[in-house]
Chains A and B, each alone.
Chain A
Amino acid sequence: MSEHSVNIIMVEDDEGHARLIEKNIRRAGIANGIRHFVDGTAALDYMFNAPDGPKHNGPALILLDLNLPDMSGIDILAKIKGDDRLKRTPVVVLTTTDDKHEIQRCYDLGANVYITKPVNYENFAKAIQQLGLFLSVIQVPEVGDE
């Protein structure tokens, strides 16, 4: 499996955050394709139905914000982890929420990593760049054939 074939799907309603995340991931030297969605409905539609989406085509990694305008990121997480084909797709929850119960709930649902966005930008940039380094070494399973 080639590193380049792993698509990064970013579900983030804040355009600024999305841009900053992308910038810092690139700064970490990650060149994988990043698909950005600003709402949950579009993101779910891509994941489950698009021909080039992770369900039908190839491995992916999902960056998920919990505060979305149309639905809670928790619901998206539950749908991904409840799907036979998608459940092995790594999900990195990247959000402002640092509520203990929320974090526990995400891990209970099968989230692989939970990262709280630091408000301080230097820390934020550092965290994302470290995430990028992490993404560069992570092995993502092939989706599909059981």
Chain B
Amino acid sequence: MKISDRYFQRLVFAAMASGLLLLVIAAGIVVLAAGERQRSTALVVHTFEVENALDKFSVLTEQLETARRGYLLNHRQASLDTYRRTVVAIPRQLDRIEWLIRDNPAQEARLLGVRAEAERHRESARQTFALLASPNPAMRAMADFAVDTSFIPMIGLRNLVGVMDAEERRLLGIRSAAQDTASAQLNAVLGVVGILILLIMGGAFWIVLRYTTDLNRAQEALRSVNTGLEDAVAARTSELSRANDEIQRFAYIVSHDLRSPLVNVMGFTAELEAAIGPLTALADRVDADAPALMNADAREALADLPESIGFIRTSTNKMDRLINSILRLSREGRRTLQPAPIDLAAMVASIRDSLQFRLNELGAEIAIEAPMAAIVSDRLALEQILSNVIENATKYLQPGRPGRIVVSARRDARRVVIDVADNGRGIAPADHERIFELFRRSGVQDQPGEGLGLAHVRALSYRLGGVINCISTLGQGATFRLSLPDVLKVEPREGIAA
């Protein structure tokens, strides 16, 4: 399964979002649980406080009873002090217990019973001390009886306190159990959340890993496609340069082989021409000495000879020029290229300087668009291409429009694209390819030339591993676009034998 970018982003976002949400939930649960635990801990503490208070009450009650009995036996001042202290402390303790258990009506009801019993007990103790303090011995004796009856409220008190104590213990048990359950539940929930987070993170990790693997694979594929493309380009380039070599070789051989017969044609034409003189002299002498031998046809033939020879000469001269042009073209093609870093701006500027006189005459200008891309190529070949194209631009300006030729060079991946744009007369679309052919020209033939310049330019461009083409609309100027490799690589070439 391929993971698309959008899908991947959504998936990862969803995983991150749900992970975060789960974390928030877990944190919330922990906070809530902590609050709950605090509350139940407080309750447990409360229970212990109540128990403690009850115990204290029991102790006080026992102390009161002990003090009473002790005083009955020995009338010691310590027992009296204890009595006085406990009698004050017991109601206070009961008040405290009441405050502590104010949230529990059942315990409050029980406390009322305890209060009543405690009151009875206190009252009975008060009577005992009052009797013992009486100066009347009979009254003092009666105190013994009071003590005997006092154990009834004591038992009731112990029972009641025991019940309350038990109730508090029961509540403590319930609260402890609830706390344990809450703890267990919290652990369970946290565990589930933890597992979920782990699952989501694991899933997200898996997806990221998978996506990264896909991405790597795609990059690998892209790289191999690129390499394939480069190979294809290299193969195509070498094919082209082979084809180019073949054409150069062909041009060279043809031009040489054409030269030989031409030497004969021209040579013997010259011989014929040289023969006209003696022949004319002979004819003149015949005319003078033996007019009967001369006829009109011979005279006419002799008179026509110079014209015929003139035509032969003109034609052979033209042919000679063409052959020399081809030869020059093929010789250029066989020159060994020497790649070197070239300052295009300086090169174009020097071409402009060499054309300055002509530019002034035409009122035209050449603009160099800086900065120009850096290039490593053959200086001579590139200079020939550019000066040819720029000179062409100055040749074919639109009458009545000030000529402006803009030269620019920009980098495009591993190539440099040089544009020579003019605002001249333009070239009809049908001629865009034709102008690069040998001996072909376009438009009004008002400029000197053999139709070789652009053929030469194209051949040189091919040699430099480049292409040149023309973008133009008739009447609106033309742009010649030369695309060259940024760094020219020269492959070893086999020499071309003559």
Bound together: yes
Interface residues of A (CB under 8 A from B): 14, 16-17, 20, 23, 66-67, 96-97, 99, 101-102, 117, 119-122, 124-125
Flag if B266 contacts A121 (CB, 8 Å). yes
Flag if A121 contacts B267 (CB, 8 Å). yes
Flag if A119 contacts B498 (CB, 8 Å). no
- Does B262 reach chain A (CB closer than 8 Å)? yes
Flag if A119 contacts B270 (CB, 8 Å). no
**Residues of chain B with a CB closer than 8 A to A66's CB:** 498
Rounded to whole angstroms, the CA-CA distance of A18 and B267 in the bound complex is 11
- Does B175 reach chain A (CB closer than 8 Å)? no
Find the B residue at minimum CB distance from A103.
B498
Rounded to whole angstroms, the CA-CA distance of A14 and B259 in the bound complex is 11
Flag if B259 contacts A121 (CB, 8 Å). no
- Does B72 reach chain A (CB closer than 8 Å)? no
Q: Which 5 A-B pairs have the closest CB atoms?
A: A16-B264, A121-B266, A97-B498, A20-B267, A121-B270
Find the B residue at minimum CB distance from A16.
B264
Measured CB to CB, the closest approach of chain B to A88, in angstroms, equals 26
B20-39 interface mask toward A, CB cutoff 8 Å, 1 = contact, 0 = none?
00000000000000000000
Measured CB to CB, the closest approach of chain B to A4, in angstroms, equals 27
Rounded to whole angstroms, the CA-CA distance of A67 and B264 in the bound complex is 15
13 extra interface residue pairs, beta carbon distance < 8 Å, beyond A17-B260, A67-B257, A101-B495: A16-B264, A16-B267, A20-B268, A23-B271, A67-B498, A96-B256, A96-B260, A99-B498, A119-B320, A120-B266, A121-B263, A121-B267, A121-B269
Measured CB to CB, the closest approach of chain A to B73, in angstroms, equals 151
Once A96-B259, A101-B495, A102-B498 are accepted as A-B contacts, the answer to whether A125 and B267 lie under 8 Å apart by CB is: yes
Find the B residue at minimum CB distance from A23.
B271
Once A121-B270, A122-B270 are accepted as A-B contacts, the answer to whether A20 and B259 lie under 8 Å apart by CB is: no
Measured CB to CB, the closest approach of chain A to B244, in angstroms, equals 18
Once A17-B263, A20-B264 are accepted as A-B contacts, the answer to whether A97 and B256 lie under 8 Å apart by CB is: yes
**Residues of chain B with a CB closer than 8 A to A125's CB:** 267, 270
29 A-B residue pairs with CB within 8 Å: A14-B260, A14-B261, A14-B263, A14-B264, A16-B261, A16-B263, A17-B263, A17-B267, A20-B263, A20-B264, A20-B271, A67-B256, A67-B257, A67-B498, A96-B256, A96-B260, A96-B263, A99-B498, A101-B495, A102-B498, A117-B259, A117-B263, A119-B263, A119-B266, A119-B320, A121-B263, A121-B266, A121-B270, A124-B267
Find the A residue at minimum CB distance from B252.
A99
Find the B residue at minimum CB distance from A96.
B259
B82-118 interface mask toward A, CB cutoff 8 Å, 1 = contact, 0 = none?
0000000000000000000000000000000000000
**Residues of chain A with a CB closer than 8 A to B263's CB:** 14, 16-17, 20, 96, 117, 119, 121, 124
- The residue in A17, A23, A117, A119 that gathers the most chain B C-beta atoms within 10 A of its C-beta is A119
Flag if B498 contacts A17 (CB, 8 Å). no
Rounded to whole angstroms, the CA-CA distance of A101 and B264 in the bound complex is 26
- Does B323 reach chain A (CB closer than 8 Å)? yes
Measured CB to CB, the closest approach of chain B to A85, in angstroms, equals 29
Measured CB to CB, the closest approach of chain B to A61, in angstroms, equals 22
Find the A residue at minimum CB distance from B269.
A121
**Residues of chain B with a CB closer than 8 A to A119's CB:** 259, 262-263, 266, 320, 323-324
Rounded to whole angstroms, the CA-CA distance of A69 and B495 in the bound complex is 21
Find the A residue at minimum CB distance from B264.
A16
Flag if A17 contacts B264 (CB, 8 Å). yes
List residues 226-277 of chain B with CB under 8 A from any CB of chain A: 256-257, 259-264, 266-271
